[in-house]
Every structure is written in structure tokens, then in C-alpha cells.
Structure 1
């Protein structure tokens, strides 16, 4: 990782960028630039269910009542910029969602289904060869509805069940009984 290097004219002088280098058959190529633009936020689905931590490593969607608002998960969202984007491909901002300095939302394929995890990772995710498992396209539609699509597994979205107290999962956009739109607070 080469810090504070930018091969473009500095387009935003107050944003620090980090370059990610990935070896490819002896040639190094840039995949992403990390914009040090961390933002704190909470997420609630379009049925007003908040995301809460259930157990150590699982998220659930629950409608919180009265004095239980402290149970909402406070996420940190960091933005990543792809070095190159294929023509006509603009799926949204690329972000990483973390809960603390070493607990990240990630995904992997299990039994022909993409599964969402809260993964403990103690190193810099930029140095991981499989870092795209942590990346999501953030796309906002209308005034305030946001979806999070997996970068590694296109077509799979962070979602909640229409029922209470169910785990947050990944689903195909057309999955019945799953909500893929969130309000970012």
C-alpha cells in the first residue's frame, strides 16, 4: 500500500486517498482508492425496523419501542473509489460498512447462496486479496431509499425480512418477503 500517492491532479485537497495495489501475474494494478471519508450512520428498513446486534456476530431487524433506541447499531461507512469503471457501468458508490475497528459486513458463497457475515478482521482490509467481499455498491433512489449490493456477488442485496426479529441477510432483488431498501440516518 502506497499512502498519500495520487496519480491524478488532486481534485479534492481535503480528502486523503490510499492506493490499493493487487499483484496480477507479476504486474501490479490499482483496484481501489480509499477516500478517508468515514461517516457514522444507522440503518432502518422501509418498514421502520432498525438493525441491532443479536449475539456477537449477527444483525437482526427489529422495531424498537420507546427507550430502546440505544440498541441500534452505529455503523461506520467508508467510501472507496474504483480505479477504473467499465463503460456504462455506474452501480453507485462503493462503501464498506463496519461496526467498530475490526468488525465488518462481508459476504461469501455457501451452498449456491450468498451469505452475509459480520467478520472480525484485524488487518487493513485494503491489503486482503479478497477485499471485495467487504465492498457494497450504495445506490440511493428517490429522496431517501438506499440499497446495498454486493460488489463480489452482483445482484445480491443486504435485506431484512418483513417479519420481526429476523436476521439481516443477502438476497436477490426479486426475493419475496425481503426488504432491500433502507433509510440512512
Structure 2
């Protein structure tokens, strides 16, 4: 369960957010450009710090203004697909997806299995050795999605995750994403 009550003063307005997302539930943030959608995701991920409030995920306090506590992003177990994908340009598709697993000190054999399976599930297993700079926008987007999903996050944040995909691929990935979210029973 994700429970959020936080505020952040931004340049043009004060952002006040109250969200409750149950396990398996999907929440979509809609709004105009500049309305704070990406800022909310960055606050949840720990990339920005709220001015006050509290963020709790599955009973674990990620941020508490009252206690002056903020768990660093790398310890939150949150998968995040950024709007610009934030892939490492010098790495292959495999290396990008494996990055979070290596940081968690997962064994090389298990990383091979997990990454290969995830890339196959997203229809890009044949691109395992390709540098991400050589991939199309839709392929990069699927690499970013694979990187976010392979760590089995407690919360998945998606910042416009399907915009670069063609209509047919978008529908396929949307269905796979829906199945993955339901199977995981985690808030998204």
C-alpha cells in the first residue's frame, strides 16, 4: 500500500498531494504540462524531497518531514521509467537492464537468466548486445521498462511510458504491463 500526504513549494505553485494506492491498484496522474506530474513521481522515488508530509510504502516510511527522515532512492525498491528513459548510452541493452541487479549484488548466472527473460517478454531479446544508442525510440523505451521491472520493485513509476511506441507495439506492451501489474499485486 502506498500512502502519501506531502507538499512541495514549486516555482509557480504549491504542490499538495494526498494519494492512497492499494496493492494491485494502478493510479494514473493526468494533467497539463507543468502541472507537477513528473515532480510527484520524483518525490515518490526520492529524487526530490517534499517540504513536509509523509510517504509510506507497505508500512515502511520512505519520507517523514516530522521525523526528518528520508530513505535514499537506491534503498526504496522503486522501479522508475523516466520520460527520457535515462539509459546509459555507453552500455548495451543487457547491461542497462542488469544495472540494478548488479548494484544489489545478484550473481552473474541469475542476472543472465532474469535479464534475458525480461528482454524476451518485452519482445527485444534479440537486441541483448546492441548499444542503446543504436536502438529505436520504442526499443529504448522497452529497455527502460525492462530495467524497471527486472528488480521486482515494490512500486513502479512510469512517466509517459508508452509515448515512443507505435500503435501495435503500444497495445502489446500495455497488455503485458497490465498483466505484470496484476501479477505483482503491487501499487503502481
**What TM-score comes out, normalization by structure 2 length?**
0.26
Greater share of strand:
1
Structure with more contact order per residue of length (Cα contacts < 8 Å, sep ≥ 6): 2
**What TM-score comes out, normalization by structure 1 length?**
0.26
